[in-house]
Amino acid sequence: MSQPVLVLTRPLPVPPLTANGQAVEVRQFRGDQAVFAQAQVLLSTVMDPVDARLIDALPASIRLIANVGVGLDNIDLRAAAARGIAVSNTPVVTEDTADLAFLLILASARRLYSSESMVRSGRWNSTDMTVNLGTTVQGKTLGVVGFGAIGQAVARRARACNMAIAYHGPRPKPEAAAAVDAIYYPQLTAMLAAADIVTLHCPLSPATRHLIDAQTLAAMKPGAILVNTGRGALVDERALIDALHSGHLSGAGLDVFEREPTVPPQLLAMDNVTLTPHMGSATRECRGAMFDCALQNAIACFEGRPLLTPVDPG
């Protein structure tokens, strides 16, 4: 029986592993295809492109691409399927990502960044009660674009703050919607027009790239807030900047960007925009669970067992 070999796309804290009673050899890919010789598993992160060119160059020994993350826009799934290579992800990020999304909702509504900056810079005037007023989330409508596990978890948090829930996606989800009294909008623009705050949780695909553009931003309520913890390219950043500059949107909370780690300087300069560095899963517990899930998928592949979290290539 050949030794199990795991190839990493970047340095990761992989503990000693065994499969079928053998130690797993761990290698790192640095551009040299020779590293894949006799390897069975490629372990990638959402920050590392695994495109058709790389997949086509993989040897026949590779049986699995184990992705550390839920989103799969970094992997060419069609190319993997054409080669008969399985793909797995780590759907263990729901609650922590939902926490961050709701943090950005509250931070944007209550102007947390500009308020904190005022205190740190010594500009706080405790006698002026009209400065830096935000808006309450109580009784407001949250529009959820993408009503999967994370979108539903954000909706539960919003209901705890007495928010009404509207949602848009490819199809209605009556059972999940009933749990949070959510109303389904088959048309995105209609949902945007009904929401005071919009939060994005759909996967990135050719169909959803720049889903939020000048036209859809114009459909949002004047003074609305946009929050994105999904993928940066869901939003046309130029159009978002224009909507913020014009005052059509009152604020935004962004954890993801089109060209990470680069953030447009216009967004950096705005005090009504809260920015975080793609950290939806950035807790010790969540990151540990993600690595463990990916490694358990790898071991299952080495041992010929069913994957824990396989991805449908379709």
Of the candidates 110, 168, 231, 237, the residue annotated as catalytic is 231
Whether 248 is a known active-site residue: answer: no
Question: d(Cα 95, Cα 116) in Å, to the nearest integer?
Answer: 26
Of the candidates 25, 260, 285, 303, the residue annotated as catalytic is 260
Decide if 276 contacts 107 (C-beta within 8 A). Answer: no
Whether 278 is a known active-site residue: answer: yes
Whether 285 is a known active-site residue: answer: no
Q: At 235, list the tokens.
A: 């939003």
Of the candidates 111, 157, 168, 278, the residue annotated as catalytic is 278
Decide if 230 contacts 70 (C-beta within 8 A). Answer: no
Residues belonging to the active site: 231, 260, 278
